[in-house]
Amino acid sequence: MTELHIDRVESPLGTVTIAVHGDTLVALDFVDEDAMRERLRQRFEGARFVETRDPAGCATRLQAYFDGRLDALDDIPVDPGGTPFQRRVWKALREVPCGQTRSYRDVAEAVGSPGAVRAVGQANGRNPIGIAIPCHRIVNADQRLGGYAGGLDNKRWLLQHEGARPQSSRSRTL
């Protein structure tokens, strides 16, 4: 039976729930904890959830990020699971520096699949460890925000928190 340690961090985005296996972050969600737990049950057969304060220091590091230490999550161990392609995409996302954005096309090229822009978008949308795997840093080619599973207001907040300033998703480039 796999033991997953669960904790919650209050943030400007609301309650963020994390799941840790051993010393590795395996999930982070600020939208739907029940859905996160269901995904973890599918990934870790027989998963047992244990409420644990600050497992592996992950909650402290997440709070530090929200408090302005923007590099606090850069080297946190993560294991998102996923397909080989998704893992390549998620690895590339972690290489996007804080305060910067990249397009879906940039990521597709970075993972050696320049024609897989839509697949990159799908992998981005299935990222189980938001913020630590910074899918919020990926924007449309014209720098508009595009979609975000955590909601565009949260994506905008995260980018502004990190000092990135892409255009509003509502603005049009003529």
The rounded percent of the chain whose pLDDT value lies above 90 is 84
pLDDT tops 80 at residue 138: yes
Fold exhibited by the domain 84-161: Arc Repressor Mutant, subunit A (1.10.10)
- pLDDT-derived band of residue 171, with 50, 70 and 90 as boundaries? very low
First-to-last alpha carbon distance for the chain, in angstroms, is: 56
pLDDT tops 70 at residue 17: yes
φ, ψ of residue 122 to 5 degrees: the values are: -65, -45
Topology alike, domains 3-66 and 84-161: no
User: What CATH number should be reported for the domain whose range is 3-66?
Assistant: 3.30.160
Q: pLDDT tens digits, residue range 21-65? A: 999 999 999 989 999 999 999 999 989 999 999 999 999 999 999
Cβ(35)–Cβ(49) below 8 Å: no
pTM (predicted TM-score):
0.91
The mean-pLDDT minimum among 22-26, 70-74, 127-131, 166-170 falls in 166-170
Cβ neighbour number for residue 38 with a 10 Å cutoff: 11
- pLDDT-derived band of residue 130, with 50, 70 and 90 as boundaries? very high
**Angle CA 141–146–150, to nearest 5:** 140
In angstroms, rounded to a whole number, what is the distance separating the alpha carbons of residues 32 and 101?
Answer: 25
Q: pLDDT tens digits, residue range 80-118? A: 999 999 999 999 999 999 999 999 999 999 999 999 999
Cβ(111)–Cβ(92) below 8 Å: yes
Summary mean pLDDT of the chain: 92
Give the pLDDT score at 144: 82
Give the pLDDT score at 150: 83
Give the pLDDT score at 166: 60
Q: Which of 135, 138, 139, 159 is catalytic?
A: 135
Catalytic residue list contains 58: no
pLDDT tops 90 at residue 170: no
**Could you tell me the residue ranges of all domains in the chain?**
3-66, 84-161
Cβ(144)–Cβ(138) below 8 Å: no
165 by DSSP, 3-state: which? coil
Distances (CA, A) of 157 to 105, 121, 148, 162: 23, 20, 12, 9
In angstroms, rounded to a whole number, what is the distance separating the alpha carbons of residues 63 and 73?
Answer: 10
**Which one, of 10, 19, 137, lies nearest residue 80 by Cα?**
19
